[in-house]
Amino acid sequence: MAKEVFMPKLSSTMEVGTLLQWFKEEGESVEIGEPLFEIMTDKINIEVESYEEGTLLKKYYQLDDEIPVNTVIAYIGEESEAVPKDPPVGNDQEGSMEERESSSTTEATETESNVKESQSNKVRATPSARRVARENEISLHSIQGSGPKGRIQEQDVAEMVSQTETKLSTPLAEKIAKDKGINLHNVQGTGSRNKITKADVIGHDTASSDEPERIQLKGLRKAVAAKMLESARSIPHVTLTTDVDMTKAMEMRQALLPIIEEQTGYRLSYTEIIMKTTAHVLGSHPYVNASLIENEIILNKSVHLGLAVAVENGLIVPSIQHAEAKGLAELTVMSKTLGKKARNNQLTPEEMSGSTFTISNLGMYAIDGFTPIINPPETAILGVGRIVRKPVAIDNAMEIRPMMVLSLSFDHRAIDGAPAAAFLTELKECLESPYGLLV
């Protein structure tokens, strides 16, 4: 009997997935563990492996289609086996939703955590490496693997592709480019691994004319837009600001910089000092470290810090679990590692969930203060501006001090103004006397 292939639910917030690539065509054989298709969720791009074996009998959706989770997108079964002409809808898809979501969750976990070994009589390579090699007609036998036991990684193939000056592109992008007479070598790809998508070709064609460029909200950009709109509409935001004298924090960073760099290989930044201080202060202000779900305020016992990271076409918030128990060296390693994974689209759903408080740092830009939007169900978010040397009155004398603006947006349904102000005041005091964190 033919087996259904579903659009998996890879996170609690995922509602649709965008189909980026089919790795198999109708009529081709499929083995368990082989990459079947690639999707883009509201957070990441991920290859989905087959959990059935047989022949790919039917594909119901094309590239760039947005498909609701738990929708049947294909069938795998025995050759010539009969399957529906159109995708099942309504009663055809009824059944145990709990079983289906459980199955999707299992698939997501296994897809993200397991890298299946190649068959012993073949070149050792990851599924993604095989796919990229297949797309670019590159023999894996000509590539030296950099992975364990000489296993070929996706990056190894990408380097070979770069050497041959071959660009990755989706079949749909190639078709549109051919129809419009566009040379793909002149098109900049915005997809995973700089792959050229349909939108890139259309955008390139539009840019060459006088018509304004039109970019459809989809994928990560659409998810970010929906979440920000929901937050702004449903949460009564109030923002408090304060100036922080960073003199002592700068001294502490300068003293710890060579020590932490020698231990971890990473340079301590002000972000980690702010994270450490924030996690410490949140322990005394449970309502600021709370979650508001429906009509219930949940006072979280641990501090799971979300760190907003700007990526192409959106914003991703990886979470550092139990930040209150971590030292500056460990926070430095985790923030740098998670930031890099976010920019490379390598974060797992677990690394992007569970935060209880978020920090958004724009200190690398010419920004002093701003109004950050709360990341629900959290009840507050901290905005961090740049450090600027300004004249400040100290003991009736004017001095030039490095000053930084902190902006705290809080949900007035869960937090009143006085408790929020108390938190921000204590955070300011701790940053101005940071050596207490080391005791």
- Which residues form the catalytic set? 412, 416
**Crossing angle for the helix pair 270-282 and 328-343, to the nearest 10 degrees:** 110
Sign of torsion over alpha carbons 89, 90, 94, 97: positive
User: How far apart (Å, rounded) are the C-alpha atoms in residues 167 and 162?
Assistant: 8
Residue pointed to by tokens 């995922």: 14
List the Cα angle 166/171/176 in 5-degree steps: 100
User: How far apart (Å, rounded) are the C-alpha atoms in residues 224 and 220?
Assistant: 6
User: How far apart (Å, rounded) are the C-alpha atoms in residues 60 and 107?
Assistant: 20
Structure tokens at 24: 């198999």
Closest CA to 350 of 318, 307, 398, 373: 318
Phi, psi of 253 (to 5 degrees): -60, -45
